[in-house]
A and B are shown apart, each in its own frame.
Chain A
Amino acid sequence: MIRDITIGQYYPSESVIHRLDARIKFIGTIGYVIALFLFDTFWGFLPALFWLGTIIVLSRIPLRFIAKGLKPVLFLLIFLALFNLFLTPGQTIFEWWIFNITDKGLENAGFMALRLMFLVIGSSMMTYTTTPSQLTAGMESIFKPLGVFKVPVHEVAMMMSIALRFIPILLEETDKIMKAQQARGADFESGNIFRRAKALIPVLVPLFVSAFRRAGELAEAMEARCYHGGKGRTKLHPLKMKGRDYVGLALIIGFVVAMGFVP
């Protein structure tokens, strides 16, 4: 069902990774993404897998939940892999009709697919283990220096966290509306792609209407509680680096540097 989409969601649990300072996790994610682009042979995936595996085990998030998060990008993944598979020149190893698979194509397809999977899973780990409010606080704190250049750091961070927070709400709403229309005989599962796209109109229109209504209500509720942007705003739970956060930071730096030496 539509509620299975887990990207950008928070998965509540008690773990070291959950308790880690949001800034460290953010830096870790950036470092991990950079590290994924530092190597160009399959060997690089070994240490990356070890790193990702350790984080997943430590975070105590069930693998099944993580696998579900891959579902929405599966289409993109297959698409990219196929492109690479058929369009890379090289030594032909398999030929049929207009299709021509080369050794290089096979290698590229596998490499791209793996890298994308690592990217998606790795960056989802950040949102799975960090509440939206921690996430905003972390980003705000990291990007604070940009304020010098008149970048509205607080506002952007707030917008992002609201957007993240609204993903599950809108998914729930979509689910509800789909059910209501199904009860009126709507059929989302059969027909060709055009019919299916058209079948979504009865879902999208109410969804947009309700998204705008919610946005208006939220703005009013925030104003009613005297929200006036970031200026002079204090925090209930200010971010504070603890021992484990420094350990985490050291490990991250170590990991990225080590990945730089992988062939």
Chain B
Amino acid sequence: MSITFDKVDHLYGKGTSFEKMALKNVSFHIRDGEFVGIIGHTGSGKSTLIQHMNGLLKCTGGNIYYDGKDISDKEYDRKKLRQNVGIVFQYPEHQLFEATVGKDVAFGPNNLGIPGLQAEVRTYEALRSVGIDDSLLDVSPFDLSGGQKRRVAIAGVLAMKPKVLVLDEPAAGLDPVGRRDILDMIAGIRREENITVILVSHSMEDVAEYVDRIMVMNDGELAMDGPVGEVFAHRRELEEMGLSVPQISLLMKDLEDAGIIKDTGIYTMEEAVRVLSKRLLEGSGQSTYNTTP
């Protein structure tokens, strides 16, 4: 499903002293199967933006289209939209409520009216794809660890088999290993299911390695939108918005400025390791620079 936002505005608390323009004139187009990162400082409107994607919030200005169809149309099937666009909210583990992990994950499919056996199959599949062992199926979700709870909550959305998966800060509050695991898992799901994935984060480091395209939100506006390397080239502007580019891209930029490497726009650790080790091997042969004084 392709997503089009056309000059979308959102105003909270209209007519009160809490009035807040949380989205201003946001326009973009996301093609089928893209892997997009949305980054922005706290309060920049990321969560507000994604809640428009499945119709939980209605825009106060502009239009939103899926596959060219306006979702504010009377005839548009919004229930179907909720099914097609799965949103995993910030701290999704706070929404767990059932007595067992299995039942909680089956909540979504049951709401969609999917027959028992099929719902069960989906539950198994979803739990497996988030790496939760079958032995935990009958355990209370409240007895799991933080990271496990989060996986179960994500499985709860996956079990609805969405065509677009939106995740709001899926790695927030986890330790570094947990963060990597969750993000790797999401990338894996995207590869297997071939779905559109939108990853919201305020950490560049997290997003950079995984996504193909970055949208930068700043104070309710879509400030930048483009391929990862292109966005990271605007280091100054990003810093002005309270965002920093990944550490490794700073190092690589310095090395490039010093004339030690020639490659530009490197922002992932793997890429950097590859380039640097190649350079080191070359270096040992020709000794471009001296280590002895």
Does B94 lie within 8 Å of A183, measured CB to CB?
no
**Interface check A74, CB cutoff 8 A:** no
Does A185 lie within 8 Å of B82, measured CB to CB?
yes
- Stretch with Cβ within 8 A of A (4 or more), from B105-113, B200-208, B219-227: B105-113
**Interface check A251, CB cutoff 8 A:** no
B11-29 vs A, Cβ < 8 Å mask (1 yes, 0 no): 0000111000000000000
Q: Which residues of A contact B148 (CB under 8 A)?
A: none
A164-203 vs B, Cβ < 8 Å mask (1 yes, 0 no): 0000000000001101111111110000000000000110
Q: Point out which of B17, B79, B86 has the most chain A C-beta atoms below 10 A from its C-beta.
A: B17
What range describes how many residues of A lie at the interface?
20 to 34
Does B17 lie within 8 Å of A13, measured CB to CB?
yes
What range describes how many residues of B lie at the interface?
20 to 34
Interface residues of B in 53-108 (CB under 8 A from A): 54, 56, 79, 82-83, 86-87, 89, 92, 94-97, 107-108
Q: How far is the CA of A12 from the CA of B96 in the complex (A)?
A: 35
Does A184 lie within 8 Å of B17, measured CB to CB?
no
**Interface check B210, CB cutoff 8 A:** no
Cross-chain contact of B95 among A11, A180, A201 (Cβ < 8 A)? A180
Does A12 lie within 8 Å of B160, measured CB to CB?
no
**Interface check A205, CB cutoff 8 A:** yes
Inter-chain contact total with CB atoms closer than 8 Å: 63
Q: Which residues of A contact B96 (CB under 8 A)?
A: 206
B111-142 vs A, Cβ < 8 Å mask (1 yes, 0 no): 11000000000000000000000000000001
Cross-chain contact of A184 among B51, B79, B142, B156 (Cβ < 8 A)? B156
**Interface check A209, CB cutoff 8 A:** yes
**Interface check A238, CB cutoff 8 A:** no
**Interface check B157, CB cutoff 8 A:** yes
Does B97 lie within 8 Å of A202, measured CB to CB?
yes
Q: How far is the CA of A186 from the CA of B108 in the complex (A)?
A: 8
Interface residues of A in 50-65 (CB under 8 A from B): 62, 64-65
Does B17 lie within 8 Å of A182, measured CB to CB?
no
Does B94 lie within 8 Å of A206, measured CB to CB?
yes
Does B89 lie within 8 Å of A176, measured CB to CB?
yes
18 CB contacts below 8 A, A to B, read A11-B16, A11-B17, A12-B17, A177-B94, A177-B95, A180-B87, A180-B94, A181-B95, A182-B56, A182-B82, A183-B82, A183-B89, A184-B107, A184-B111, A184-B156, A202-B95, A205-B97, A206-B95
A interface residues, Cβ below 8 angstroms from B: 11-13, 62, 64-65, 176-177, 179-187, 201-202, 205-206, 209-210
Q: Which 6 A-B pairs have the closest CB atoms?
A: A185-B111, A205-B97, A180-B95, A184-B108, A183-B87, A180-B89
B interface residues, Cβ below 8 angstroms from A: 15-17, 51, 54, 56, 79, 82-83, 86-87, 89, 92, 94-97, 107-108, 111-112, 142, 156-157, 160
